[in-house]
Structure 1
Amino acid sequence: MIGAVLAAMLAGGLLLVADGWRRARRPSLADRVLPYVRDVHPTPGVTTGHLVGEVFGPAWRRVTGAIGESLGSNAAIARRLRNCGLDDDVEAFRLRQATWGALGLAAAVAMSIVAWSVSHPPVVALLMWCIAGLVGGCLACDQWLSARVRSHEAQLRAEFPTVADLLALSVAAGESPLASIERVTRVSHGALSHELGRVLAQVRSGETVVAALDEFASRTGVTSIARFAEAMAVAIERGTPLIDVLHAQAADVRETARRELMETGGRREIAMMVPVVFLILPITIAFAFFPGMVGLHLTSGG
């Protein structure tokens, strides 16, 4: 097993050397143009991570592309990255996913070496275990992204009523919608404030307020916030009263949260019966009947 691992490492090193030699003989267009535009587009300083990315990047990207296409579409990954507010692109996520898979494979190989040195299990079982470690690492990264999306959406729902009320108060005080958004992003901190800051940055870069709000509505995964952004864009475009729209949206979200809380409480009520029936009730019955059983035993013994 150790010899197989060493042979795989040697083969991987030879393949990397051959790939680097091939790329050095036929450089890409970006490699040829970059030295002449370095003053226009400066490159970051060479760090350890940047150097590793330059050495192993092309081969690693091909591996991640193959793994990614087998585990999910790039469109779904891009949509989830956009929903959770991450600035990474699909390629960066695929690199992270492949790294997690490599860590899972390394852990599986280490456990396989230990198992081989102890009990000599079948080689097929060890290979299946290594494949399971690789796939498990990739799936764990995908689940991490899904959990990140759910957490981000929960934060958006929790912050939305307060932010909507702040926007309504600012607009009622006489400020414009753009100035209200700027004030809210300056005095508050959170996921929704960060998203509104992105809207503000898009407006400052040249887009209209309506277009920035429409893009915000398209990239968020929360239905209430998307409806709020669309209603705010329509109110700004058509000149309808914005204060009533904001207060109505905040009240709607609070009512939805209250209804979801009551539904969750109703579902948890059934789950709370499990420890009562299988833990507390048997202990109560034991405490109630044990003295009587002891008394009967003493009476029968006398």
Structure 2
Amino acid sequence: MTGALLGLVFATGAVLAYLGWERNRRPALADRLLPYLRDVHPEALNATGSPSVAAAVFGPFLQRIARTISNVLGGSASVASRLNRLGTGQTVEQFRIRQVVWGLSGFGLCVAASVLWFAGRGSAPLSLLVLCGVGFVGGVLGCDNALTTTVRAHERRMNEEFPTVADLLALAVAAGEGPVAGLERVVRVSHGDLASELGRVLADIRTGMTVQRAFDGLAARTEVASIARFSEGLAVAIERGTPLVGVLHAQAADVRESSRRELIEAGGRKEVAMMIPVVFFILPVTVVFAFFPGYIGLHMTSGM
């Protein structure tokens, strides 16, 4: 009983001490600086809406470097197209800033490696400086390559999800719902990249855009042939009042057949690569297991 009372007193004292420290502690640097920076630097608010002193302090510097990279590399239209296809809502300027962060990260890693190398072996400083520059350029180009890879993976997932979404939409339309209502139901019960793109279409329709223009926009911003055909066919069917169920089922069947054909073609292209483990690993092991007992028998016979 005495131990329980002592534990309760200790816990109460610890809680009271923490509450007193929380109430009387000095304000953080962000709390002291943000009232003066929020009006001067709009970058003081990050993407989530919460204050960020780092964004206010380093934002202009990163933006200048991002503009320089954009002027040197160019291709802002290509970047904008890929960002639009990805559908994240990120602007070209934000992507350029992310490229700068990637480049600075590569530069920092190369600086750390150069310091360790110079301390250990004493290499020429000029070559290490070139290595640091290569690290910055590699980070910038790696960010662009990562964006391209992400867009391709996004479109591949959309193509894989399309047959299921088309069948669900065909079932909803066959049950008596309209195209827009069926699309809302499909988006509500589906999860994935294609459902997100269809959600953007529904958002455009709710803001007053016509159904045909919304689906034309989906066809324009995606480079997946099946999605583009689906959008154009759906827009034409809604405009002219033609039946949708057969069209959707036919498109889903075409995409499944195309996926099966691509899988067979990929298997044919990988046939030579699949022979490498067979020739260099499995076949030698099989030969060793086949001839080793005979070799041991001949060695024992010759020894006798």
What is the TM-score normalised by the length of structure 2? 0.82
Deviations 1:81-113 (A, max 9, x none): 111221101111111111010011011111111
The answer for the alignment partner of 1:14 in structure 2 is none
Gaps of 5+ in 2: 1-38
SS in structure 2 of the partner of residue 194 of structure 1 = helix
Matched to 1:195, the amino acid is E
Equivalent residue for 2:263, pick from 258, 261, 264: 261
The answer for the alignment partner of 1:52 in structure 2 is 54
The answer for the alignment partner of 2:13 in structure 1 is none
Gaps of 5+ in 1: 1-29, 35-42
The answer for the alignment partner of 1:134 in structure 2 is 136
Equivalent residue for 2:174, pick from 172, 175, 195: 172
Matched to 1:253, the amino acid is V
Deviations 1:64-94 (A, max 9, x none): 1222343450111111111122110111111
The answer for the alignment partner of 2:303 in structure 1 is 301
Please give the residue correspondences for 1:1-302 in structure 2 after superposition, counting only pairs within 5 Å: 47-48=51-52, 51-302=53-304
Q: Compute the displacement of 1:267 (Å).
A: 2.0
Q: Compute the displacement of 1:297 (Å).
A: 2.0
Q: Distance in 1 between matches of 2:146 and 2:172?
A: 37
Q: 1:261 and 1:204, CA in 2 relative to 1: closer, same or farther beyond 3 A?
A: same
Matched to 1:200, the amino acid is L
* Sequence identity percentage: 55
Q: Compute the displacement of 1:31 (Å).
A: 6.3
Q: Distance in 2 between matches of 1:135 and 1:78?
A: 21
Matched to 1:235, the amino acid is A
Q: 1:69 and 1:282, CA in 2 relative to 1: closer, same or farther beyond 3 A?
A: farther
Matched to 2:199, the amino acid is G
Q: Distance in 1 between matches of 2:97 and 2:206?
A: 32
Deviations 1:129-150 (A, max 9, x none): 1011101111221121112112
The answer for the alignment partner of 2:18 in structure 1 is none
Higher relative contact order (CA 8 A, sep 6+): 1
Q: Distance in 2 between matches of 1:252 and 1:44?
A: 42
Q: Compute the displacement of 1:224 (Å).
A: 0.9
Give the paired residue count.
262
Deviations 1:40-64 (A, max 9, x none): xxx985522xx22222222321211
Q: Distance in 1 between matches of 2:99 and 2:269?
A: 35
What is the TM-score normalised by the length of structure 1? 0.82
Structure whose CA Rg is larger:
2
